A and B are shown apart, each in its own frame.
Chain A
Amino acid sequence: MAENKEILLRCSKIVKEFSGNRVLDQVDFDIRKGEVHSLCGENGAGKSTLIKIISGIYPKDDGVIYINGNPVDIHSRQDSTANGIAVVYQELSVMTTLTVAENIMAGKELTKFGFLQKKQMNRRVQDLIDKYDLGLKATQRVAELSTAGRQVVEILKALITDASLIIMDEPTASLSYKESEALFKIIRSLRDNGVSILYISHRLDEVYMLSDRITVLRDGKLVGVFDKEAEGGIKPDEVIQAMVGKSLSTERQKELTPGSGKVVLDVRHLSHRGYFNDISLQVHEGEILGIGGLVGAGRTELLRSIFGVDPVTAGEVTYLDQPISRSIRQNIKSGIGFISEDRRSEGFVPQLSVEQNAEMINFGAVSSFGVLSKAKERARAKKMIEEVNLHPADPKYKVANFSGGNQQKIVVGKWLIHNCKLLLIDEPTVGVDVGAKSEIYKIIEDMAANGAAVIIRQ
């Protein structure tokens, strides 16, 4: 749209550091009026930090934000709302027991002589819904809506404040394909009504389809802006090139040699209704098998179903020539390990020490006749600390106090000393710095070299 080249928001030389780590380095970035602008980059590229600065959650260390050409100070969410910026978060914050209108008008109630003007409020919300053709009823209870419907409520909350910029952070992460389509329609309708959208998604196909422009960040730096209007439009290859950068070629690559040892895990026609369908794979001793795919492709769910966390609806799995147990406890006993992608809530107990966390999967190894042996516990933890090179190397230290990378080393290490024959890993390096990342890969490779079979989701 040629008439909409006017710039709504401009960030100039934004800098943000976390304890000396520069996560945003002199980032220049702008959003035009009435455009869908996507922000792309790998994990840790600085996307969420930039959004949080724009929406007033983090203070910036340097740089200026201009709205409609005027420099503005955004120090809080109130400031960003006052400047017409609204955020639709991945975790929805709706009030399910209330109606759509009550959700949207909460805190902005219309009253007359102290009494609520329910009719007027319902009408105002309904008008807004109709204007953008959102297909909801103002008097509907939010509990009756699907996730997609609830997301629309969040968008409405933004629209009621007359937001001129709506930031959407992974809005399709929990939507079905059909629901996503409906959301895209809404996004286009908002754009056509002059609202700007800052869109963040890991699903690149969505990004190409929706965006008028794409800004790519890498390691906290702006590496490129791609414009649909530019000659040749947006080339997906170039965007990916910008996102991944040169690091792809310089990164240490393992030679792919299919294992020739014994088959450890044999998955045949495995399905979990609604998540994945008809998956067959084999892993051999000493082999590392990677599972690729987009967010929502069912990779996490596959690993969870194999391990026995989630159910399976069809197919079978054999582990060392025996049908795999559906009991997690039994699977751990027989040498299967599982590392969740959500380290914080599923990986460890933060209030407990390293040694207590290490002992958790195999109490038998550190106890005599069911009574905990402190000496055995300590010895086991020390062995683990040595093997994974933990900092600080203190078995009594609470896991909560370690850095992300070292926490992940504990999570991996506890399976290492358990002598797993099969390790299922769901994205082992979330929120882990580069140094620790390669150390963790090294640990996993060593485990494979010692004969373990590994399935890894990246």
Chain B
Amino acid sequence: MKMHMSLTVKKLFIPIGLSIAAFIFFSTQSENFATASNISTILRETATPLMISCGMCFVMAAGYIDLSVGAMAALISMLASRMIDLGLAVPLILVLMVVLGAVFGFINGFLIRTFDLHPFVGTLAMMSVYRGLTWIFSYRNANGSAYAVKITDLTIRELNGAMNIGSFKIYYSLVTALICMAICQVVFMMTKFGSNIYAMGANLKAAELTGIKVGRVEGMAYMCCGALTGVCAIFLLARSQCATTTMGVGLEFDAISALVIGGASAMGASETAGKANPVGAALGAFFLYLVYNGIFKMGIPTAYQQITQGGVLILMMMVDSIVTMIRLHNQEMKYGLEQEKIMQEELNNG
């Protein structure tokens, strides 16, 4: 039996290949790159954007986007810091952070659905709103400028720890991220919700005509995205030990990059891009942070990180466009030749 591999699975080999190539390259360039502790660090760095990526996956697979996640994470962290000041129990705060995320996600989805906002601009606006709210809830001195305050209850710091296997560390954040990834992957592959999301991303109008409640699915997708942003905010707060107004800047871009490098189309679905999927996002995020780390270890200016990230994104999209162009061209040629043959036959038959 011929082994059939879906396009989405095939696309996973791109980040895997890129990662292996980057790994070999940086290993030869820097002595302390391919060490157990450094790899632990890379994996740890991958964890938080991966959580957001998993959430973003719901939104992007359905053909939408959420640019507000970074600011949302900052706002949730800030509110959590205030809740700690109020003396709420830490476990309750953790739950509330996820719930808050879901609520913010619901607001995003509600606005976009009800007023038919463009998802890109709508969530860009919400990004600004959440970032502004973060400042309002922040700690400020007499001059009115915000400053970082270490959180008063330090039990949350426990979450920043790791399990040690020799000199290799498995951080709790990574474990959580992988659990999130696994759950989301199952949701996408094996539930009605997941398949409805893919259907919407493929053709919203057609999905609506088949009786899928597109409004509800869209709202749920944004809520999942928000909830996972809440989970991410927990680990961001645990790591930095303080909530700041600039937390999570650029997280949305990392999350989107990870998905696209993992094979997703930049907007909804295209015939040549794969479906947005959490496993692809994990591989994409791993590649990104591998490169970040390598560039850092080589002592090259960090500006090159930005160039690499942008460049790889453009490259992935170019691959999709070129494949689409070739395919269209071939189809047209084939159709044209067929028609010509038919016409010729008709001519011959009089």
Interface residues of A (CB under 8 A from B): 77-78, 93-98, 102-103, 106-109, 111, 114-116, 118, 141, 143, 157, 176-178, 273-275, 277
Contacts and interface: CB of A to CB of B under 8 A. Distances in A.
Nearest to B207: A106
Contacts of A108: 210-211
Given A107-B210, A116-B190, A177-B342, A102 B199 contact: yes
Contact of A95 (B203, B339, B340, B342): B203
Given A93-B203, A97-B201, A118-B190, 15 more contacts: A78-B211, A93-B206, A96-B203, A102-B198, A106-B195, A106-B207, A106-B210, A109-B195, A109-B196, A116-B195, A178-B342, A273-B340, A274-B335, A274-B337, A274-B339
B209 interface: yes
A103 B200 CA distance: 11
B191 interface: yes
Nearest to A276: B343
21 contacts: A77-B209, A93-B205, A93-B209, A96-B269, A98-B198, A103-B199, A106-B195, A108-B211, A109-B196, A111-B192, A115-B190, A115-B191, A116-B192, A157-B210, A176-B338, A176-B342, A177-B342, A178-B338, A273-B340, A274-B336, A275-B336
A274 B340 contact: yes
Nearest to A157: B210
B39 interface: no
A273 B337 contact: yes
Contact of B191 (A94, A98, A114, A141): A114
B275 interface: yes
B107 interface: no
B191 A116 contact: yes
Contacts of B182: none
Smallest CB-CB A-B distances: 5 pairs:
A274-B336, A95-B202, A107-B210, A93-B206, A107-B211
A108 B336 CA distance: 38
Contacts of B202: 95-98
B203 A273 contact: no
Nearest to B346: A177
A157 B203 CA distance: 15
A401 to B, nearest CB: 23
A97 B207 CA distance: 12
B36 interface: no
Contacts of B196: 106-107, 109
Nearest to B345: A177
A115 B269 CA distance: 23
B339 A106 contact: no
A157 B335 CA distance: 26
Contacts of A143: 271
Contacts of B347: 277
Nearest to B214: A107
A189 B212 CA distance: 30
A381 to B, nearest CB: 34
Nearest to A87: B209
B208 to A, nearest CB: 9
Nearest to A91: B205
Contacts of B342: 176-178
B308 interface: no
Given A141-B7, A277-B340, A176 B335 contact: yes
Contacts of A115: 190-191
A88 B194 CA distance: 26
B48 to A, nearest CB: 29
Contacts of B191: 111, 114-116
Contact of A176 (B203, B270, B271, B339): B339
Interface in B287-339: 332, 335-339
B10 to A, nearest CB: 12
